[in-house]
């Protein structure tokens, strides 16, 4: 495939570096099925001939960093070196087409995503503009829900964490069900959460694919009276027909999307016209595909509430026509030189160029 540029173009990509690092969680998540003591990161640094440097990173939660690093260095880096950052969607498409044989989900797409995030950071820093400005977004406060009321904390721990969020100004929280609880325990936990928080606080409920379709329909009927904000990922991410059945059986909004890769994998949810909010993950398509997914979803009347990584996704949410919520857990605040400032359950996008997030030197130095 022909290169985009000549060697004298100052926007030419001359270097792609990777680094694996591991940092302890300040408050280790207790998901009930994953043991996470450290934040394992793969960080990607891209440099142009002009000397501008952009970074992207991956936190895949369940290992595979060396495999991802090898994918970048062996398969993707040769495709990108010598190109320019002038047309990032072209570079995304080039990587996508070149990895057809290896698959259009999983490792290859996550590796692409890290590069894509770094490329957009690079163009923002080149133009000295934050990404939301490049995408004609608005400088405004955006609503954030308090996630991380983990099932592994138990009944009392989940409620205590939710109360902490509410004291800090959050208007909605997300609790977890399934995996370590019976259906009856889940129903009781939701009931007690609503009783404790009152009617003015939104309660999202995350199942993490822990139920069957039949269980979901049964439990949903029992918790509808507690008016959840939504019920998240009740069954396996690719059980599209199961999601349609669930949506037809309950008044609770059903949301999903965090474990689906790119708009291709999310399109059945859009075409099914049952899901009103999708939760694409920036690590499963990068900025380029998240923008495309949001625009496509808007055509179907679907809103976007990106999964995790609010410090990156906030640029998208500030720019699209169909934003919903940002998710906040505070996992990464201690990693950044200048973390985003959270006030009363709201986040405002940074005015710093690119995505505006720089790791502390002790976290990552190339």
109-116 average pLDDT score: 98
Cβ–Cβ contacts within 10 Å for residue 65, how many?
A: 18
Question: Is there a shared CATH topology between the 13-128 domain and the 133-347 domain?
Answer: no
Q: Residue 7 pLDDT > 70, yes or no? A: no
89, 95, 219, 223, 260 from 179: Cα distances, Å? 39, 37, 14, 18, 21
Look at residue 9 in the predicted model and tell me its pLDDT. Answer: 82
Least confident of 7-21, 233-247, 304-318: 7-21
Return the CATH number of the domain spanning residue range 133-347.
Answer: 3.20.20.120
Torsion angle in degrees (nearest 10) through CA of 54, 346, 299, 257: 70
Look at residue 1 in the predicted model and tell me its pLDDT. Answer: 42
User: If you average pLDDT over each of 7-11, 22-26, 204-208, which comes out highest?
Assistant: 204-208
The 8-class DSSP code of residue 182 comes to: -
Whether CATH 1.20.910.10 fits 13-128 = no
184-197 average pLDDT score: 98
Q: Residue 145 pLDDT > 60, yes or no? A: yes
Please state, in angstroms and rounded to a whole number, the distance separating the CA atoms of residues 59 and 38. Answer: 10
Look at residue 62 in the predicted model and tell me its pLDDT. Answer: 81
Q: Residue 2 pLDDT > 50, yes or no? A: no
134-163 average pLDDT score: 97
Assess contact for 229 and 253: CB atoms under 8 A. Answer: yes
pLDDT in tens, 56-112: 999 998 889 999 999 999 999 999 999 999 999 999 999 999 998 888 899 999 999
pTM of this prediction? 0.95
Please state, in angstroms and rounded to a whole number, the distance separating the CA atoms of residues 350 and 339. Answer: 9
Supply the mean pLDDT for the chain.
95
The upper half-sphere exposure of residue 319, i.e. CA atoms within 13 Å in the direction of its Cβ, equals 22
Per-domain residue ranges of the chain:
13-128, 133-347
Q: Six-digit token pair at 47?
A: 């440099």
């Amino acid at each position: 495939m022909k290169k985009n540029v000549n060697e004298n173009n100052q926007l030419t990509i001359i270097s792609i570096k990777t680094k694996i690092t591991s940092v302890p969680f300040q408050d280790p998540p207790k998901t009930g099925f994953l043991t996470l003591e450290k934040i394992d990161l793969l960080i990607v640094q891209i440099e142009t001939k002009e000397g501008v440097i952009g970074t992207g990173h991956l936190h895949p939660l369940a290992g595979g960093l060396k495999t991802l690093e090898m994918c970048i260095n062996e398969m993707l880096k040769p495709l990108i070196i010598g190109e320019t950052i002038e047309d990032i969607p072209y570079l995304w498409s080039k990587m996508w087409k070149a990895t057809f044989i290896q698959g259009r989900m999983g490792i290859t797409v996550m590796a692409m995503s890290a590069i894509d995030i770094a490329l957009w950071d690079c163009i923002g820093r080149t133009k000295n503009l934050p990404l939301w400005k490049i995408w004609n977004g608005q400088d405004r406060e955006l609503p954030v829900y308090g996630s991380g009321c983990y099932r592994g904390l138990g009944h009392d721990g989940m409620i205590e964490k939710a109360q902490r969020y509410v004291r800090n100004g959050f208007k909605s929280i997300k609790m977890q069900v399934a995996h370590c609880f019976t259906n009856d325990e889940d129903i009781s936990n939701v009931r007690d959460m609503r009783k404790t928080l009152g009617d003015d606080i939104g309660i999202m409920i995350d199942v993490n694919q822990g139920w069957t379709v039949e269980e979901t329909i049964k439990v949903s009927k029992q918790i509808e009276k507690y008016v959840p904000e939504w019920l998240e990922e009740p069954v396996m991410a690719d059980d599209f027909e199961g999601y349609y059945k669930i949506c037809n059986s309950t008044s609770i909004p059903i949301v999903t999307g965090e474990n689906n890769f790119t708009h291709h994998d999310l399109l059945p949810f859009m075409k099914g016209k049952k899901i009103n909010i999708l939760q694409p993950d920036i690590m499963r398509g990068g900025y380029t595909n998240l923008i495309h997914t949001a625009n496509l979803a808007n055509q179907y009347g679907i809103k976007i509430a990106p999964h995790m990584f609010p410090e990156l996704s906030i640029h998208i949410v500030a720019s699209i026509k169909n934003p919903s919520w940002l998710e906040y857990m505070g996992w990464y605040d201690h990693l950044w030189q200048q973390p985003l400032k959270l006030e009363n359950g709201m986040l405002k996008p940074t005015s710093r160029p690119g995505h505006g997030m720089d790791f502390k030197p002790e976290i990552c130095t190339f």
